[in-house]
Structure formats: C-alpha cells, structure tokens
C-alpha cells in the first residue's frame, strides 16, 4: 500500500509518501518527505499569522505534491490512499491541505482518510519501531497541546491528563518572546539553557503533587514576566548570563512538572496492571528538547520503563506522521467521506471512522 499524507495545520506545508512493507504497516518505507517551513515569514510578526499561513499553503502545495511524487518515482494514480490533517489547527490552513488531498482522491479514484494531527504526533515515535504501535503511555508536548494519553492500540485511547492553560511549547514560545528571543522560543531556550544555572530562579512548579495528571504553565510564565524588571540592567537590557539563567531555570521548571506527571500517570497505570505502563513515548515539537529527552531517558532507565522517542524530523509538524496514521487506518479498512469536515478544535478521540466494504 502507498499512502500520501498532507500536513497544513499551522505554519509547515508538508507532503510525505510511504509504502507499507508489511500487511500490518509496521516500519513503512518513506519514499518521499518534502516540507516547506514558513517560520522565517512568521518570525517577522513574532508568531503565526493565520491568513499568511493559508495563503502560503495554497501557493506551496501543488509544487510540493509534484516534488514528492517525483522523489518517490510514482504518479499520483499509483497512490492507494490520500490522507490529510483535519484538525486541530488553523481553519483556513487546514482547509487548504484537506481540500488538496480530497481533490487528488477524487481525481485518482482512491480513498481518503481524515487524520487527527494529535494522533499523528502520538503515534509518530512508533514509525521506525519494528514492533509498530504497542500499548504505551503517550506524552504529546507540542506548541498547541500537552496531553498524557493511555494508548492501548491504534485508535484506542484514554486521555489521562492535559494542560489546563498554556501548552508546554506555547509556554516556551511566550517566554521566548518575553526574553526577546527569535520565534519560536523553544529551540532558542533549549540552545541557551546549558549555559545557565537552573537553580538561580526558583520558578513555580504548579499542581506538581495535586493527585491529577493535569499541568498548568500560565503561573510559571507570569513568574518569568515578573522577574524581568528585577534583573534588567540600568540600560534595560538583560545580561547574557542572566538570560541563560532565566532560560535554564524556566526550562527546568517545565521539565520537572512533565517528568513528575508522566511518572505519576505511569505509576497509576502500573497499579492497574495496564500493559501500557511499560512503555513511555514522547512526541510533539517539545520532544526535540535536549534536557527533556535526557531526563526522560534517565527516569525511564531508573524505573525499567522503555522510552520510545520519535526520530528528530518527526517531532515538529511533518506529513510523515499524517501519512503513517492514514496508512494504519486504511490497513484497518477505516476511510472517510469526501464530505468529512475539518475542525480547528478537534479532540484526540473525535474522528469517527467509516468502514468501507
């Protein structure tokens, strides 16, 4: 089976083509993965401008689809299933990718699968795993979401907890903006943090031991904001060592909370003898974070939990994760009508599948 996936939920336009090597879709071969990032464009505005994003998706997509087919050495008619992100994301941006995939599906007479972007992130760590998707605790940490999910099988999920306000990536980006770092703030804070002292500022770890798997980062963000006037030099600037200390202290606070909550959830699942307790998978843009990856490695090792990390190119938004979920659903006979809607607030468990005979 050959699957073509399109991602256009935010500021990355991406097309990937996969071939399932085996009937179960484990370890598919990536025939093409092309991506056009709009980060430079949105950086000038300090964040994503929805109108600019959708306009650029519509300019870029036809070229990217042609390029992906060329790279894969196939014609669009040879694709067996077309998949596109249906949400969550920016409405007009989602519509561009979704409509393109539906048009190709209609023109080529091939089925269409509507993919939840969060499911794409959630399953992305298993793309390269010989076992395929196994029961696990999934931690999705992206710019828009922080989710703790018990995954029993593809499509069989329980949401254990989430951020009650800002997503982890959003907190990184907002703090980055306060510190006048280039957009997006996450990678910049990650880059500066190793030069700083993570104990210099004692930022709050909200809800750390509240007995739930929910997190909150808005108080942390405000604490950074209130600290800034106290550390500015007479000329209003922040000394480079102070900047690094702020990055390190903020990042440590986010990671402490994520680690605590992940293992609180894992311990609960273990008490219930859930097979998902033995594996932890990290996904989403913040899964690129160097300190988060190494802390999770140490903590998993100490508890005998297997850690599954996505390949670096599959952490931030990409179309390979969309094609992967599209392929897994198609192999299970789950397709969607061309009337399937896009939804900016799509939840992880919203997409209903329509079995096709």
Residues in contact with ligand KG4, counted by CB under 6 A, come to a total of 19
Minimum CB distance to Zn ion, residue 95 (Å): 17
Q: How far is the CB of 342 from ligand KG4 (least distance, A)?
A: 15
Among positions 222-241, residues that touch Zn ion (CB under 5 A) are none
Q: Which residues, at least 6 apart from 66, have a Cβ–Cβ distance to it below 8 Å?
A: none
Name 148's bridge partners: 139, 161
The interface region with Zn ion, picked from 200-208, 218-226, 266-274, 316-324 by CB under 5 A, is: 316-324
Query: Which residues, other chains included, contact 243 with Cβ-Cβ below 8 Å and sequence gap of 6+?
Result: 179, 192, 196
Residue 166 near ligand KG4 by CB under 6 A:
no
Q: By CB under 6 A, tell whether 173 contacts ligand KG4.
A: yes
Residue 161 is a binding residue for ligand KG4 (CB under 6 A): no
Query: Per the structure block, which two tokens stand in for 344?
Result: 């900016």
Whichever of 242 and 289 has its CB closer to ligand KG4, that residue is 289
Residue 172 interacts, among ligand KG4, Zn ion, none and using kind-specific CB cut-offs from 5 to 8 Å, with ligand KG4
Q: Taking CB under 5 A as the rule, does residue 142 contact Zn ion? A: yes
Binding status of residue 317 toward Zn ion by CB under 5 A: yes
**160/312 Cα distance (integer angstroms):** 26
Partner in contact with 120, chosen from Zn ion, ligand KG4, none, beta carbon below 5 to 8 Å by kind: none
**Smallest separation, CB 117 to Zn ion (Å):** 6
Of these partners, Zn ion, ligand KG4, none, which one is at the site of residue 166 (CB under 5 to 8 Å by kind)? none
Using the rule CB under 6 A, give the single segment among 94-102, 106-114, 263-271, 283-291 that binds ligand KG4. 283-291
Subset of 115-154 contacting ligand KG4 (CB under 6 A): 142-144
- Does the footprint of ligand KG4 cover residue 316 (CB under 6 A)? yes
Answer yes or no whether residue 97 interacts with ligand KG4 by CB under 6 A: no
Q: Are strands 306-308 and 279-283 parallel, antiparallel or unpaired?
A: parallel
Q: How far is the CB of 245 from ligand KG4 (least distance, A)?
A: 17
Q: Interacting stretch for ligand KG4, rule CB under 6 A, among 123-131, 182-190, 273-281, 300-308?
A: 182-190
Based on CB atoms, which residue is closest to ligand KG4, 5 or 285?
285
Kindly list the distances between the CA atom of residue 325 and the CA atoms of 256, 300, 310, 316, in Å, as whole numbers in the listed order.
Answer: 31, 26, 14, 16
Minimum gap (Å) between residue 329 Cβ and ligand KG4: 20
As a whole number of angstroms, the distance between CA 46 and CA 279 comes to: 37
Identify which of residues 269 and 288 has a Cβ nearer to ligand KG4 in the complex: 288
- The interface mask with ligand KG4, positions 188-227, x = CB under 6 A, is --x-------------------------------------
User: Which residue, 19 or 293, is less far from Zn ion as judged by CB?
Assistant: 293
Closer to Zn ion by CB, 39 or 338: give it.
Answer: 39
Whichever of 161 and 169 has its CB closer to ligand KG4, that residue is 169
- 141 with 284: CB under 8 angstroms? yes
Which residues of this protein are in contact with ligand KG4, per CB under 6 A?
10, 142-144, 169, 172-173, 184-187, 190, 284-286, 288-289, 316-317
Which residues of this protein are in contact with Zn ion, per CB under 5 A?
142, 317
């Amino acid at each position: 089976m050959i699957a073509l996936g399109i991602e256009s939920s935010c500021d990355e336009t991406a097309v990937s083509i996969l071939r399932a090597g085996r009937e179960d879709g484990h370890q598919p071969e990536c025939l093409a993965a092309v991506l056009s990032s709009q980060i430079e464009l949105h950086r000038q505005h300090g964040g994503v401008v929805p109108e600019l994003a959708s306009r650029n998706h519509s300019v870029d997509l036809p070229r990217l689809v042609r390029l992906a087919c060329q790279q894969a050495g196939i014609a669009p008619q040879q694709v067996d299933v077309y998949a596109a992100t249906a949400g969550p994301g920016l409405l007009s941006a989602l519509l561009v990718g979704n409509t393109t995939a539906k048009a190709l599906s209609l023109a080529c007479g091939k089925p269409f699968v509507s993919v939840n972007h969060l499911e794409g992130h959630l399953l992305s760590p298993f793309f390269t795993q010989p076992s395929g998707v196994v029961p696990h605790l999934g931690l999705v940490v992206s710019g828009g979401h922080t989710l703790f999910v018990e995954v029993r099988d593809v499509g069989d999920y329980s949401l254990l907890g989430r951020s009650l306000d800002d997503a982890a990536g959003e907190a990184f980006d907002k703090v980055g903006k306060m510190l006048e770092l280039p957009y997006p703030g996450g990678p910049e804070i990650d880059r500066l943090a190793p030069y700083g002292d993570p104990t210099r500022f004692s930022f709050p770890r909200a809800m750390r031991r509240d007995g739930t798997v929910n997190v909150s980062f808005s108080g942390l963000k405000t604490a950074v904001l209130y600290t800034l006037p106290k550390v500015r030099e007479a000329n209003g600037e922040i000394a480079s060592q102070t900047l690094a200390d702020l990055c390190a202290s903020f990042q440590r606070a986010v990671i402490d909370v994520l680690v605590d909550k992940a293992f609180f959830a894992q311990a609960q699942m273990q008490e219930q003898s859930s097979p998902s307790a033995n594996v932890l998978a990290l996904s989403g843009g913040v899964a690129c974070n160097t300190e988060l990856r190494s802390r999770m490695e140490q903590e998993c090792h100490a508890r005998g939990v297997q850690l599954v990390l996505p390949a670096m190119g599959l952490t931030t938004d990409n179309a390979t994760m969309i094609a992967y979920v599209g392929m897994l659903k198609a192999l299970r006979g789950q397709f969607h009508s061309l009337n399937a809607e896009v939804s900016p607030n799509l939840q992880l468990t919203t997409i209903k599948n329509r079995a096709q005979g």
